[in-house]
Amino acid sequence: MADLRSKQVFTTGEVAQVCNVSQQTVIRCFDSGRLQGFRVPGSRFRRIPRDALIAFMKNNQIPLDQLDSGRKRVLVVDDDEAIVEMFTELLERDGRFEVRTASTGYDAGILTEQFRPDVILLDFKLPDINGNVVCRTIRSNPNYEHMRIIVISGVADPDEIRELAAAGADEFIKKPFDINAVIDRVAEMVKVA
């Protein structure tokens, strides 16, 4: 059961389990195209990717709690270890969040795809790439439309803030910060999502 939360590809049986329907229904949905998926090459087995499953479930108003732990997923991106550790501890201790971390823009990109965070806490100055580029890349992908981006930075240049907003950031937090304020803001954002 616990696997389901991190599984990326499902069999028709697993889908049936998650959706609380019979396997036959799943097969029929699969064959009719209402459930997207693929066949294992060289065999007749059907496979359903996670996002297809989620989309299907959402379309048919099937509750997602079996797939989902209910916790919001937060991706923390910062190259400073101490900051990252602090955030992770802060957010996990709160209990409402599931946290993954990345220290470079590249890792951030990969994790965004894998982890599908609801909120990204993004440090502006990353070693390999600028924060606003990351913003823009994420925003350019329609699949990530629902993700909220909060940029955290030491700089308070109004021009830069404007730039970031234009690039797609939803929020801006200055370092150092009030931790409670941060938590509240994060929670607020994901409620909307």
Q: How far is the CB of 174 from another protein (least distance, A)?
A: 9
Contact flags string 117-146 toward another protein, x per CB under 8 A? --------x---------------------
Choose the stretch contacting another protein; rule: CB under 8 A; options: 28-36, 111-119, 134-142, 149-157. Answer: 149-157
Establish if 188 lies at the interface with another protein (CB under 8 A): no
For another protein, the binding residues in 96-115 under the rule CB under 8 A are none
Q: Which of 96, 116, 136, 175 binds another protein (CB under 8 A)?
A: 175
Q: How far is the CB of 83 from another protein (least distance, A)?
A: 6
Q: Is the CB of residue 108 less than 8 Å from the CB of residue 131?
A: no
Establish if 45 lies at the interface with another protein (CB under 8 A): no
Number of residues that bind another protein (CB under 8 A): 19
Establish if 95 lies at the interface with another protein (CB under 8 A): no
For another protein, the binding residues in 22-41 under the rule CB under 8 A are none
Q: Which of 31, 89, 113, 188 binds another protein (CB under 8 A)?
A: 89
Choose the stretch contacting another protein; rule: CB under 8 A; options: 63-71, 76-84, 102-110, 161-169. Answer: 76-84
Angle at 79 between CA 74 and CA 85, to 5 degrees: 55
Rounded Cα distance between 61 and 49, Å, is: 18
Interacting residues with another protein (CB under 8 A): 80, 82-83, 86, 89-90, 93, 125, 154-158, 175-180
